[in-house]
Amino acid sequence: MDLQLKGKVIVVTGGSKGIGYGICEQLIQEEAQVVIIGRNKETIPEAVNQLSAAGGKVGFAYAELTDAAACKKAVQEVLDQYGVIDGLVNNAGVNDGVSLAEGDFETFTQSLHKNLTHYFMMAHYCLPALKKSKGAIVNIGSKTAVTGQGGTSGYAAANGGRNALTREWAVELLPYSIRVNAVIVAESFTPLYEKWIQTFPDPQTKLKTIEDNIPLENRMTTPKEIGSTVAFLLSQQSSHTTGQLLYVDGGYIHLDRSL
C-alpha cells in the first residue's frame, strides 16, 4: 500500500531513540521528510546519521520541550527550512515513577510538564501550518492511562490527558479537516525499558513474566510495529479516521491475559 507520504514533512518529538526512532524508521520507508525535535545533542545527530545512511530524508531542531518558547522556536525553524508541516507526532516522554505516596506537588507537576504540556504546545505552534496542509496529528500514549501501573501517578495522569486531548482536538479541528488520533502502547522494548528491567534482581525472569502476559505471541510490541500504525494514521489512507485511540499492544489491554 502506498501511503502517499513521499515528501511530506513530519515532525516527531523524541524521535532519536526508542519508539520515536521506530516511527522515524517507518516514515523514511515511506519517503517522508522527517524532522526530529528534542533536546539530546548526542542521540539526535546519531539518529539523523543512521536514518540518512538508510536513505532517509531527516532534519532536526533542538528544543527543551518543557519550555514553551523553545517549542515555538523549533517549530519556526522547521517552517523556515521546509515551509510546511504536514504531520505532527507527539511522542517524547518518560515513565518517571512519581508516585502518590512519595511524590509531591513539585515532582508531580514536573512530570506533567515532561509528559503532557509539550503535547499541547507542539500542537498549538504547529496548528497554523497544519491548517494550511490539512495535516494530521498522532499522539503516542501509554497503557498506564487505562490499566494503571502503581507508583507512577504523574505519568498515568499525563497519559490520561493525552487521550483526552486526542478526542478534544479531533472535535476542535474538524472544520479544518485535521485528523487527530492516538496510538496506545503497552509493552515495547526500548532503551528506557531495558534500563528499567535492569533494576530488578533477575532481569530476564522479570522480562519473561511480562512477555508471558502479552496475549499475541507472548512478545513485546516492536517500535517498528508502532511506527507502521503511526505512518498509516498520518496518511490519506486513513482519511476518515479521527478521534481514535488505537491499541498497538498485542492484545495486552483488552484481551484476557490468562490466555
Interval 61-85: pLDDT, tens: 999 999 999 999 999 999 999 999 9
**Active-site residue, 155 included:** yes
- State the CB neighbour count (10 A cutoff) for residue 191: 11
Give residue 100's identity as a one-letter amino acid code. L
pLDDT for 195 equals 83
Return mean pLDDT, the chain: 96
Tell me the HSE value of 70 on the side-chain side, using a 13 A CA sphere. Answer: 13
Average of per-residue pLDDT across 1-26: 96
What does the longest C-alpha to C-alpha distance in the chain come to?
53
pLDDT for 226 equals 97
Cell representation of residue 76: 519556526
Q: Quick one: fold of 9-188+223-248?
A: Rossmann fold (3.40.50)
Catalytic residue among 125, 155, 247, 252: 155
pTM equals: 0.95
CA distance 10 to 201: 41
pLDDT for 40 equals 94
pLDDT above 80: residue 2: yes
Residue with cell 497519559: 159
pLDDT digits (tens, 9 = 90+) for 93-142: 999 999 999 999 999 999 999 999 999 999 999 999 999 999 999 999 99
Degrees to nearest 5, angle at CA 123 with 23 and 84: 75
CA distance 13 to 104: 27
pLDDT for 196 equals 79
Domain spans of the chain, in order of start: 9-188+223-248
Residue percentage of the chain with pLDDT more than 90:
92
pLDDT for 252 equals 94
pLDDT digits (tens, 9 = 90+) for 155-169: 999 999 999 999 999
